[in-house]
Amino acid sequence: EDQVTQSPEALRLQEGESSSLNCSYTVSGLRGLFWYRQDPGKGPEFLFTLYSAGEEKEKERLKATLTKKESFLHITAPKPEDSATYLCAGRGGGSEKLVFGKGTKLTVNP
């Protein structure tokens, strides 16, 4: 059974304090690893797609990387507006289903 596990469940950072969120996956025939951001009471908002090990994508203070077993979302010098829940999802071979992790709730204090 395909599985995606995110850690930590919650992370508190001071503004400017860089860190990383982890997403480990066991998804058969991975055909895409997706990162989303979700604000309270809203639907997830797309951030990145990674398709193969070694791939990296960047957007402002966020950088996503992928290995054969896990993905990292690196946050450099975060700001309070980066506070949100970050979700990771995998899509396996032969299916369009996205399997989600439970998310990491990030709080950035000013």
Partner 1 sequence: DVKVTQSSRYLVKRTGEKVFLECVQDMDHENMFWYRQDPGLGLRLIYFSYDVKMKEKGDIPEGYSVSREKKERFSLILESASTNQTSMYLCASSLSRVRAFFGQGTRLTVV
Distance CA 39, CA 67 (A): 27
Report the residue from 59, 102, 107, 109 that binds partner 1 according to the rule CB under 8 A.
102
Site string for partner 1, 42-71 (x = CB under 8 A): xxxxx--x----------------------
Cis peptide bond prior to 8, omega within 30° of 0: yes
The separation between CA 55 and the C-alpha centre of its own chain, rounded to angstroms, equals: 14
11 makes contact with partner 1 (CB under 8 A): no
Strands, E, within 1-110: which ranges? 3-7, 10-14, 19-26, 33-38, 45-50, 56-59, 62-66, 70-75, 84-91, 98-100, 104-109
Least Å distance, CB 32 to partner 1, is 7
Report the residue from 25, 34, 72, 86 that binds partner 1 according to the rule CB under 8 A.
34
Least Å distance, CB 91 to partner 1, is 7
* Interface with partner 1 (CB under 8 A): 31-32, 34, 36, 41-46, 49, 87, 89, 91, 96-103
